[in-house]
Structure formats: C-alpha cells, structure tokens
Chains A and B, each alone.
Chain A
C-alpha cells in the first residue's frame, strides 16, 4: 500500500502572498454583498492595507524569521532572497499604483455599456464606477508575487494566468477612448493567450525531457538524460517565448505599445512596473535555476534577443508621437538592458553580482516608471489625457514643477548620473562586462545614446518650445497622485545620490542566489 503523505505548506513563508490573495477574495465578497455606494470606501483601505501588510510580512521574514534556505510548499514555491526582494518591490510598486488607480476619472463607469451608447451616458450620470478594479488588481498582484516565487513550471503557469487574466480585463476599462482601450484589451488577451500556450507547450516538452516540472529536477536531469535533446531545446525555446513575451523583449514586443497606450494609465503604470519585475523574476528562475547548466545552448539566442530588444526599443521609440507609446518602447529598451544582466552568468560570485544588479535595476526602473505614468495622468485636455507629444509643447512654462519632475524622470530613464537610473544601468552593465558580454554592453550604450534622443526630445518640447494656444490643462493632482509623484521623485534622487543601502540590500538578497 502506498502512503500518500499530506503536503506540508509553510504558511509563514507564503504569508505575504496569501494575504494579497485573501484580500482579493474579500474584495470579491465586497462586490457581491456591499451596497454600491459603500464599495469604494471599503475597497480602498482593504486594498492598500493588504499591500502594506504584504510588504510588512516580507520585512518580518527578512529581519525576524530569516530568509528560508529551502523551497516551500513541497518544492513548488521558493521564498528565497531574490523572491523576498522582488516581493517587497512588487508590493511597494503595487501600492503606489493603487494610489493612482484610486484617482477619479480613469475608469469606465460601466464596462458593459457600449461605448457612445445611451447606456454609457446613463451610467455616467448615475455616477457608477467599476469597483471590481480593486480585487482585480489584487489578484494580478498576487499572481505577480507567485510568478516570481514559483519553483515549478506548473505553478509558474498558474501564476502567469492569475497575473495576466485580471490585467487583460483591466486594460479594457479606460474611461476615455474606450474603443482604443477595448482594442488594447483584446490584443493583449489574444497575444497573451498565445504566449501562454507557447509556455504550456514548452513546459510539456521539458516535462517530456526531464520527467518533472520542478525547476531543480529539470536542472538535475540535464546531465543525466541522454538522447532527448530535441525535446529540451524545443521546450527551452517555447518557454522562452512565453517569458520573453511578458517582459516585452523583441521580437515579442509588438503588444506593448498598443496595450500601454490603450490601457487606463494607472494600469499601464502597474503593468510597466510590477509585471516587468515579476516576469524578470520568473525568467531568471527558469533560465538560471532550471536551465542554468544549459546556458551554452540558450545563451546565443538570448544574445540575439537582447541586442534586438535594445536596438528595436530605442529606434522605434524615436518615431513615436504618443507619450505612452514612447514610454512603452522605452520599457522595451530597458528590458533589453536587463537581459544583458541575465546573460552575464558565470561563477557564483559573478551570478551574484549580475543578480543584485538586476534586482536593483528593477526597483529603480519600476519606481521611476510609476512616477512618469503618474504625471501622464495629470496632463489632460477635453478628451482625457493629452497623449500626443505635440500637446506637451511648452509645458515647462505652464507648469514648471510638473515638467521639471517629468524631465528628471526622463533623465533617469536615460541614465544620467545623479539619478537612480544611472546606478541601475551601471550595476547591470558592470556585471555584464565582468561576465564577459562586453559586446552586448557596447550595444547597450549605443542604444542608450539613441534612447537619450527621444527622452531629450520630450524635454525639448516641454521646455524649449512655445506652448500651444489651446494646450492641455494640468489638473491639480489628488493627494494620491501627488504623493506618488513625490515618492517616485524622492526615490529617484535618493537612490541616485546615495544608492549604497539599497545596493547592499540587493546584494544581500542575491547573496545566496536562488534556492533550488
């Protein structure tokens, strides 16, 4: 008789994630039972408290109970140094994104009402709001947390879906330009579904090779299984497609500009920061833990992808005329810069440097991104946000503070010293040089120079051009938005002048690398 041992679940380790999921479920109950006029006022504290609590639980684990050294939940989830760091980052980024989401006037009154119909007008007049946004965001964030922590391809796939499905929905909920928003949602959904299918198929192949979906088992199978290389190569490629799609690496980047443009800007902020962070966490786990010893085979492909991503992101961004599309392409270029760090593997010491560089980069890029999108939400004209770049002309004269902060964020994206972006780039590039991928770094700096052009172009528009006569108005920010901008600006300055404590933290998080 076989005994089936009951699985042990380390609830303490998983608490930050479970809290978010729990709050999301509560949010659904609120939607079901609370009266309409109360929902928002219940959701906001619930959501924010869940994220703060999650962040606090991460801190507790780091400082009180210590970083676990073995996987949790029967090897399905790995709560290790990198995971905890990324959990903290995701919780923090989600928190500031929620402050943005909280702002009035971003989401549709009633998603089911056909755009431009009488229903829509009625819904608006009635003052409805789609409060499902909050639980959806929590589910997405929970998915992100699980995605970075999954130590098992199956869990990773579940996390991928939990993260993505709410985001598909959220993309379609913009209040203005609803058709564009719905189009973005459909595009994102279709392409995302494809990429998930690729991931699933790759997983099947790898399972066929290794006989397991556990990352460490796959790693263990690498030297022991003979004659099945085609399965492994195909599986790796397909897994890579699924993951690279999520980070928006070329040639899987096409969705990013459309989706970023169409989605409600606070959701774009969440996707551009949180999803990117989570997806990099998962990518690192698959390629470093499961396929770490297979790097001779995936590395050349990754080289090509990284080069293509950096160059395509930087060059295509130049031709953009919409601020959100431009930021989308910029995010593609940054994903490319991060990939140089992913490729820079070597001995343990080298991996540690590369990993801590990536962790730091993700943090600083995420914060600055949320800040930049927060500012985008504030520049509006009659039809909603004034996305077209020409509308931003002369903004520096009309509201110098806002334009100044935005210019500062752009300089951080461009990696000018004394901004956090510079140290992020430096950390990743120096690890890459040490890891022997100097040519990639050269491509990286050339792309940075190209990228600088379009960042600078926006600054030129804002400061050196004359304002349009009927230019957009800058709405007085709500407390939430203002604090998001302030926090992002402060983080960009502080991490740009005094990055040491955070670098230290990232280094500690990376010190033991991933648990297996």
Chain B
C-alpha cells in the first residue's frame, strides 16, 4: 500500500474539498477538516504500527516514481525512524490545532473566510508530510519552499495587528534561504553528475572538500534560517507572535523542525567532511542561541514572543545535538524535535486560550488567573514545566540526552548550554507567576475556565508529554537505528568514548 502517497494525497483532497464547500458552510468546513485530519492521524498510526525499526532498509514504505526525467527528479518518498516520528508529530498536532482554531478564523475582529483557513491548514499538512517523507532532494526542496505559501497566508490573513509585516518578513527570510539552497541543490546535481536527485544515491557523491564546504553552506544557511538559529532568528518572534495560535503551533512545532531535520538528514550525510569542518561554528551559534534566546525570553512582555524566544533557545539545543555527532546527542536532538513540538504546541495553544479570553497578549495584563480558571492555569503550568524540561516530562529526556551526548565530545559547549536550563526556569516560572499568581487582575475576573473542546485540545498533548517523559522507549527505539545509520554515513562512530558516559541513557527519564 503506498502509505506515504496516501498520507500526502488525503489532506490535499481534503483541502480542495473544504475550499469547494459553499459559502457560509463554516461549521461543515471545520468538521470536514477535523475529520480529514483524524483520518490522516489514523493512517499515520496504521503505518507506524507496520514500521519495523530493525529493518536494514534505509527507508521504509519507499515509493519512487519518475516525475521529471529531464532533471533527474523523482517523486521519491520513504521514511526512516527520524522522518516517521516527525510525520507522526505533524499528524498529531494538526487535529489538535484544528480543534483549537475552531473560533480563530471567525473571530469578530477578522472577517475572513473560514473555509480558506482550514483549507490552507490541510494543504500545509500535506506539505509537512511530504517534506519529511521526501527521499529526493529536489522533491524535498519543492515541499520546503511550497509550504511557505499556506503558512504565509495563514499568518497574513488571520494573524494579529502586525500580521502583514510578520508574514512578509517570514516569507522573505525563508525564501532567501531557500534560494541559496536552490543554488546548492543545482550544484549538487551538476557536480555529483549522477543524473538523479535521489538522496541515497547522492550520499558520498561529493568528495572534494572545498565543494562540500560551499554546498554545505548553501543548505545550512537555509536550514539555519528555517530552524532558526541565532543570528538568523529575528523573523520567528514576529511571525509566531502575529500568527493565530494554531498556525503558530504548526510554524514553531513542525515547520521549523524542517530546518533541524534538514541539518541532520542532508547536511550531515551529504557533506560529512564539511559538517565536521563547520561543527565548531555551528556549536558556537547553537550555544549563543541557547543563552541568548533564554535571556531575551526573560525580558519579553508579550506572551507569544516569549514562547517564540524560548523556542530559539531550544533550537540551539537541537542543533547542538545534531552537530555533536554522537549517538546520544543525535537521538536526543531528534527526540527533542518531537517533544518540543508537543510542549511548545501546548504552550502556544494555552497562551492562545488566555489571549482569546482576555484580548491581550501582554503578560502584565494578567494576574491571578489561577483563582478564576484553575484548570487553565494548571495546564499552563504543566506545559510551562515541560518547556523548562522538568524531570518526569518528556522534554527532560531529550534535553538530558543532548547535553550528555554533547559532553561526550564537546565539554565546554555542553557546560555553557546547561545554563540554558537554569534560565529556562526563570522565563517560564516568572511568566507563570505573573500570569497565574498574585492578585486577580480586574479584567481577568470572570474568566471562563477551559470548556470541553479546549480540554480535548490540551489533554492529549499533556498526556503525551507526561507519558513520553516516563517512557520514551517506544520512540527512541524507532529513532535510534535511524540515527545510527545517519552517523554511520558521517563515519563518526569511531569517536565513541572509551567509557560510556551513562550506563543506560535511554531510560534516563524513568
């Protein structure tokens, strides 16, 4: 069964279907979108069940069709463990976002087409699946660029007051990176001279060190903008703050992961020598990002901007884990991508609920929410704690693995990065304190607590965060073989430390 093609086709068809609904059928549009996204989730689960982590195939469920033979382009899809968990992340987040965005598009302030929003959402989902599933570099690039467009319209049409500025900034930054990558993609094809863009065949095709370095930079800058790493990050706070909460979840939770995923998949494997050459630089950028993002987050007055800056800090951790090139760090980074999606997703959604109720995204406008809306405040606390990587919550496992894995080889960066953990406690707890504790602000009086729809949005996320915090093994079992294969292609395995740094890192959170 062509699982991945179906996973891409179903949301596309759903998107067209939603777009073709008659005017005024807003409720139907939402229900249809939810149904389609649940079908995609079901299909993803069905596919994941059949995934065998121990398989020797590089990619499973692989499909390859000739798309544009003149350019050597295939419609090639397939997943390994890394891609699978990220596709699963997207498939889980989309129905949640649909449910959470139930009233986003029809808010009285924004008289925008409701069905267009949900149609774009489904289109975006198809592209998210496609970008992670692509095993053809060109196809990856196509999805990488094309997925900007639905997100651009979601921010620009349905976002906050500064939405058009934020949307344009987002698009131009990403396009610029993407175009540099396009040059590298073309050059990769021309220099490799294999007549194909299929990723497995391109591994090891570029041997000249100088060429590798240039091509690496072409890919890396695009991914560093997408992820985003410091100093390419300035678009993210604007975009995330202006995007409607649901879109922000997908933007930070999934779209940005394409950057770190790309580093792990394409930068490392296609240009192993260049990756090693640039490792010190990337580690510096990551560490700066970790500390800088955290410090700037502390100073934010806007809730969504604060969360965006925490993400910049977290992306520093992920990039550091990827480029530390140890099994622990890379597995940790991959797991971090998933956990960060859930944890930041929950934070953005709850912030969205707060903002929807109070009508303000300034932290200072809140206070004492805990007393009037205890469930809301409670979920906010749990989501926040997962953001600061509290042991017992999923993010702790991944952060710990990244730090341990990095320490195995790069001691100083790992130590500096640890300060990010401390700073995380400050920004999260201080935000929580200002929002939920203290005397109840006047405007917060009478704030509704979560209704059942919103509980359906939040509870699955928190359940996943807690469950993966205690038992990350199923996911790690899927990730680890894929990471090992990746690192084998970078041929760094010989660098394993003589004494394992931890006896059983997989169970670190247990």
Contact = CB atoms under 8 A, between A and B. Distances in A.
Given A464-B167, A500-B67, A434 B146 contact: no
Given A449-B172, A463-B156, A411 B149 contact: yes
A463 to B, nearest CB: 6
B180 A445 contact: yes
Given A438-B183, A464-B163, A464-B164, A417 B175 contact: no
B190 interface: yes
Contact of A445 (B157, B172, B179): B179
B411 interface: no
Interface string A425-469: 011011001100010011001101100110011011001110000
B247 to A, nearest CB: 14
Nearest to A419: B146
A417 B156 contact: no
A76 B201 CA distance: 49
B22 interface: no
Given A416-B146, A417-B146, A429-B186, A449 B70 contact: no
A463 B68 CA distance: 33
B141 interface: yes
Interface residues of B, number: 33
Given A430-B71, A430-B186, A500-B67, A463 B153 contact: yes
A422 B183 CA distance: 13
A81 to B, nearest CB: 16
A460 B149 contact: no
Please report whether the interface of chain B is mostly helix, strand, loop or mixed according to DSSP. helix
B179 A449 contact: yes
A25 interface: no
Contacts, number: 84
B190 A449 contact: no
B168 interface: yes
A456 B157 contact: no
A425 B483 CA distance: 35
A105 interface: no
B113 interface: yes
A31 interface: no
B376 interface: no
A499 interface: yes
Contact of A504 (B70, B168, B182, B186): B70
Interface in B157-208: 157, 163-164, 167-168, 171-172, 175-176, 179-180, 182-183, 186-187, 189-190
A219 B113 CA distance: 62
Contact of B179 (A448, A465, A503): A448
B497 interface: no
B142 A433 contact: no
Contact of A426 (B164, B172, B186): B186
Interface string A2-23: 0000000000000000000000
A445 B168 CA distance: 18
Interface in A296-313: none
Contacts of A417: 141-143, 145-146
A418 interface: yes
Contacts of B179: 445-446, 448-449
B69 interface: yes
A507 interface: yes
Given A433-B187, A438-B183, A500 B142 contact: no
B157 A433 contact: no
Interface string B313-330: 000000000000000000
Contact of A442 (B157, B175, B183): B183
Indicate the member of B156, B157, B171, B186 with the most A CB atoms within 10 Å. B186
B187 A438 contact: yes
A208 interface: no
A445 B149 contact: no
Contacts of B168: 453, 456-457, 460
Contacts of A416: 145-146, 148-149
Nearest to B111: A397
A217 B272 CA distance: 53
Nearest to A429: B186
B189 A430 contact: yes
Contacts of A230: none
Contacts of A441: 183, 186
Contact of A449 (B67, B143, B164, B176): B176
Contacts of B142: 417-418, 422
A251 interface: no
A400 interface: yes
Contacts of A464: 156-157, 163-164, 167
A5 to B, nearest CB: 44
Contacts of A460: 156, 164, 167-168
A449 B157 contact: no
A452 B183 contact: no
Nearest to A360: B70
Contacts of A433: 183, 186-187, 190
A435 to B, nearest CB: 9
A85 to B, nearest CB: 15
Interface string B259-287: 00000000000000000000000000000
Nearest to A436: B190
A306 B187 CA distance: 20
Given A418-B142, A441-B186, A503 B70 contact: yes
Interface string A385-426: 000000000000000100000000001001011100011001
Interface string B433-468: 000000000000000000000000000000000000
B186 A400 contact: no
Contact of A429 (B163, B167, B175, B182): B182
A463 B189 CA distance: 37
Interface string A489-500: 000000000011
A465 B189 CA distance: 41
15 contacts: A416-B146, A416-B148, A418-B146, A426-B182, A429-B183, A438-B187, A441-B186, A445-B179, A445-B180, A449-B172, A452-B175, A453-B168, A460-B167, A463-B153, A463-B156
Q: Which 4 A/B pairs are nearest by Cβ-Cβ distance?
A: A445-B179, A464-B164, A417-B142, A503-B70
Given A426-B182, A433-B186, 17 more contacts: A417-B142, A417-B143, A418-B146, A429-B183, A430-B186, A438-B187, A445-B180, A445-B183, A449-B179, A453-B168, A453-B172, A457-B168, A459-B156, A460-B168, A463-B156, A463-B157, A500-B69
